[in-house]
Amino acid sequence: MTPTETALIETIDTPDGPLVIVADTDQRVLAAGWTTDASAVIARIHPSLRPDAVREAHLDAAEAARAYYGGALDALDDVPVRQHGTELQLRGWSALRRITPGGSLTYSEFAATFGSPTAVRAAASVCARNAPALFVPCHRVLRSDGSLGGFAWGLPVKASLLARERGDALPVTQSS
Mean pLDDT, residues 135-149 taken together: 94
The predicted pLDDT at position 176 comes to 44
Domain ranges of the chain: 87-153
**Residues 36-51: pLDDT tens digits?**
999 999 999 999 999 9
What residues contact residue 40 under an 8 Å CB cut-off, 6+ apart? 33
User: Which of 165, 147, 153 lies closest to 99, judged by CA?
Assistant: 165
pLDDT (average), residues 144-173: 87
pLDDT at 118: 87
What distance in Å separates the CA atoms of residue 84 and residue 161, rounded to the nearest whole number? 25
Q: Is 138 a catalytic residue?
A: yes
- Specify the fold of 87-153: Arc Repressor Mutant, subunit A (1.10.10)
Note the pTM of the prediction, 2 decimals: 0.92
> Which one-letter DSSP state was computed for residue 139?
G
For residue 8, the number of C-alpha atoms closer than 13 Å in the C-beta half-sphere is 14
Catalytic choice (23, 30, 138, 152): 138
Kindly report, residue by residue over 88-125, the tens digit of the pLDDT.
999 999 999 999 999 999 999 999 998 888 888 999 99
For the chain, the average pLDDT equals 92
